Structure 1
Amino acid sequence: MEFPIQAETSSFNTYFCLLLANNILQAKGVENGSNTVISPFSFHLLLSLIAVGSKGRTLEQLFHCLGSKSLEDINSLASQMVDLASPFNKSNGVSIGEPDLSFVNAAWVAQSLKLKPSFQEIVEGVYHAIAKEADFANKAEQVVAEVNAWAETATRGLIRNLLTAEALKRYLYRSFNRYKILKLPYKTSQPTRKFAMHFFLPDAKDGLKNLLQMFKSNPEYFNKRFDLVNEKIFDFWVPRFKFEFEFEASEAMIKMGLDLPFNRSKAEITEMVDSVTEPLFVRKMFHKCLIEVNEEGTEAAASTAVIIEQQQQSVYPNPSFVADHPFMFMIKEETSGVVFFVGAVLNPSLDS
């Protein structure tokens, strides 16, 4: 299926999901001095799944957050997003130079509740996700172990193959007011898919907070098609880094106005199961990402940083892009505008 080209902004990345991503980068990352990575893409799909199981005011609130007017729109959009990511969710990996990205979403429902066949069909058929019953009441520890094992297997443990020699030959660069952007396009076997990793480097050593504030004031800036060029720069320096980040998202979403799905007495999540004695609501929403970036695109990392050279020149005699202080990164599909990952690196030597 050919992926549609979006206009100025991408409907695949809603204002809500991008603002959520930025809020988390600031609150959980910069304020705590932590490396951070999250996926607006995954949040969009997960909120869409909740919408499929909702009705009434809860559904209307989710429509507003997702920028949709009907479940048909939500499911159609989700199907295209899943199709975009599907080439990378393969057990045998991808070719050298391609981004190795893994995405998994799931709904775990108490065993006492019986999923509606219509809901399970949409979850598995449209979202390529899983909906499983679990005995939370009597086998909580076993369920936790099962969920963790499933996630590790489904994602193959890593998000990797980001910086490669092939990508470095096709970099794009531009210096703007107070920050620089370096874009590394990936080689892909899919002609309709154009993935790239962007590095946003503030000019000031302590400029990351101000850079994130700029994105917060206009989250759709993530969707901007930056006017970058294949400008000649000398050797540049970026650190290798590997870290994981996890958090529980309900509190952040409630603060941003998406409260009904998490409200025990007001949530109208009635379309997931056949019958309930008490209303359903979303108790917790867990999100976890892991990313590794190095010069080989492999898991091995012997040191905390690496010099990346362009065409065998000497080590940055006059560098134009030296990421020796906190910066932001983004992994994006250029044709659609979908932002898959956004993160901030404050200390690349922290390996969590």
Structure 2
Amino acid sequence: MEHGQDAAVRDEVALSMRLLRHLGSPDEPANLAFSPLSFHAVLPLLASGASGATRDQIVAFLGPAGADAHATLASKVASEVLAGRDGTVPEVRCAMGVWVDAALRLNPAFADAAASVFNAAARTIAFARAPSMAARPSSSPSLYFNGHWYSPFFPRLTKDGTFHVSPDHAVSVPFMTGSHLPTFMDIGCHPGFNVLRMPYSRGGDGQVFAMYIYLPDERDGLAGLVRQISSNPAALLHKTIVPKRPVTVGELKIPKFEVSLKVEASRLLRELGLDLPFSPAADPFSAMLLDSPQKVAVSSVLHQCFVNVNEKGTVAAAGTVASMMGCAMPDDHIVDFVVDHPFLFFIMEEDSGLVVFAGQVANPLLH
């Protein structure tokens, strides 16, 4: 990618950690899953229909790469990164759309830009006739990912074991314990945490996706790990966090898990400093509509996501609606990777470095 897009990717990675820090509670860690890329997809599209201070605030919220770089990245994501075909492995699908109430007039220039730049359909539709709904444009990116591990686990080797939800609370959960390549894995060891890279089978288009599991050394170290990664996400949330050379693995135990999240995220975005798109007093989307009889604004941002990880691979889906470096190890160094306490996970597209899905698991028994 060009330098501008590299900067936009760094902004998307940083946004991933900003969202993770605010969605999670350091006092009471809970399971959660979300798609940073889904959030990123909708914001440049909204920016293209916004004007004035609202557009400037959306662009500033996305990061210092700037409006053009983020629009170019969003276009590339829609047309290349997430343009997988149904029936392929990994199966990756992305759909973008903008809907405006039929009582309003959609700006043809915005509709053309949505289609040509963001690969998004823009059209009018008859919404519910409640007066409060008449002036609300809606934008929705939907992501779907179905990947098979490059080295799948053997279901017959899955065994129950102890998972420490906290230092004084443990539960019994099923752990995946073996794969076709059980002795060599991509693991990075760092002060305070270890990282396991689990690649998915590469599709015919050559795209490479992988899940990265970040495991703090301490059983109650999840909040500290989030702070540590947030201090330098460009380095600590990057494929170079794991050495290119696989290491010998001693004991390997990874819990099966399914986590989900459904959240009205407008409050989250407001707390992070993005408030003008939600204020009709600012007339924020004048570039989206023609001769609107009233000012319009985003009324809510509904984000839904789920991630399921098992012996075969991962299924993940998300939708957002707006209505370090590796470390070298000696050849004889044996590393255990036992995920028996709360951890973070990230699904990344490795050529670009984009974070497609992210989350944390505090208790694998809770869905």
Q: Does 2:102 align with 1:111?
A: yes
Q: Does 2:219 align with 1:240?
A: no
- What is the deviation of 1:198? 0.3
Q: Does 2:246 align with 1:249?
A: no
Instruction: Please give the secondary structure, in 2, of the residue aligned with 1:320.
Output: strand
Q: Does 2:302 align with 1:286?
A: yes
Give TM-score, length-normalised by structure 1: 0.77
Are 1:195 and 1:332, in contact at CA under 8 Å, matched by a contact in 2? yes
Matches within 5 A, 1:7-46: 10-14=7-11, 17-27=15-25, 31=27, 33-46=29-42
Render the CA deviation track for 1:254-312: whole Å, top value 9, x for unaligned.
1111111112212421111122122221111111112111012377xxxxxxxxxxxxx
Are 1:37 and 1:341, in contact at CA under 8 Å, matched by a contact in 2? yes
Are 1:242 and 1:290, in contact at CA under 8 Å, matched by a contact in 2? yes
Are 2:258 and 2:306, in contact at CA under 8 Å, matched by a contact in 1? yes
Give me the whole-angstrom Cα distance separating, in 2, the residues matched to 1:250 and 1:213.
23
Which of 53, 58, 62 is the aligned partner of 2:54?
Answer: 58
- What is the deviation of 1:180? 0.8
Q: 1:236 to 1:10 in 2, by over 3 A?
A: farther
Q: Which residue of 2 aligns with 1:209?
A: 223
Letter in 2 for 1:327: F
Are 1:328 and 1:343, in contact at CA under 8 Å, matched by a contact in 2? yes
Give me the whole-angstrom Cα distance separating, in 1, the residues matched to 2:200 and 2:247.
18
Instruction: Please give the secondary structure, in 1, of the residue aligned with 2:304.
Output: strand
Instruction: Please give the secondary structure, in 2, of the residue aligned with 1:160.
Output: strand
Instruction: Please give the secondary structure, in 1, of the residue aligned with 2:246.
Output: coil
Instruction: Please give the secondary structure, in 1, of the residue aligned with 2:9.
Output: coil
Matches within 5 A, 1:167-316: 169=181, 171-189=185-203, 193-220=207-234, 221-223=236-238, 225-228=240-243, 229-297=245-313
Are 2:88 and 2:203, in contact at CA under 8 Å, matched by a contact in 1? no
Q: Which residue of 1 aligns with 2:146?
A: 160
- What is the deviation of 1:187? 2.7
Q: 1:161 to 1:66 in 2, by over 3 A?
A: same
Structure 1: runs of 5+ lacking an equivalent:
141-146, 300-317
Q: 1:223 to 1:233 in 2, by over 3 A?
A: closer
Give me the whole-angstrom Cα distance separating, in 2, the residues matched to 1:293 and 1:131.
34
- What is the deviation of 1:212? 1.0
Aligned-CA RMSD value = 3.2
Letter in 1 for 2:71: N
Q: 1:59 to 1:68 in 2, by over 3 A?
A: farther
| Bigger fraction of residues in strand | 2
Give me the whole-angstrom Cα distance separating, in 1, the residues matched to 2:64 and 2:335.
45
Tell me which moved more, 288-297 or 159-168. 159-168
Are 1:195 and 1:333, in contact at CA under 8 Å, matched by a contact in 2? yes
Tell me which moved more, 204-213 or 119-128. 119-128
Render the CA deviation track for 1:113-143: whole Å, top value 9, x for unaligned.
1212222222233323333434334389xxx
Are 1:116 and 1:273, in contact at CA under 8 Å, matched by a contact in 2? yes
Instruction: Please give the secondary structure, in 2, of the residue aligned with 1:268.
Output: coil
Instruction: Please give the secondary structure, in 1, of the residue aligned with 2:356.
Output: strand
Letter in 2 for 1:133: T
Instruction: Please give the secondary structure, in 1, of the residue aligned with 2:248.
Output: coil
Q: Which residue of 2 aligns with 1:135?
A: 126
Q: Does 2:117 align with 1:126?
A: yes
Are 2:348 and 2:354, in contact at CA under 8 Å, matched by a contact in 1? yes
- What is the deviation of 1:46? 0.5
Give me the whole-angstrom Cα distance separating, in 2, the residues matched to 1:163 and 1:274.
49
Letter in 2 for 1:226: I
- What is the deviation of 1:81? 1.6
Instruction: Please give the secondary structure, in 1, of the residue aligned with 2:72.
Output: helix
How many positions carry a matched residue from both structures? 312
Task: Name the % identity.
Answer: 28
Q: Which residue of 2 aligns with 1:315?
A: none
Letter in 2 for 1:23: R
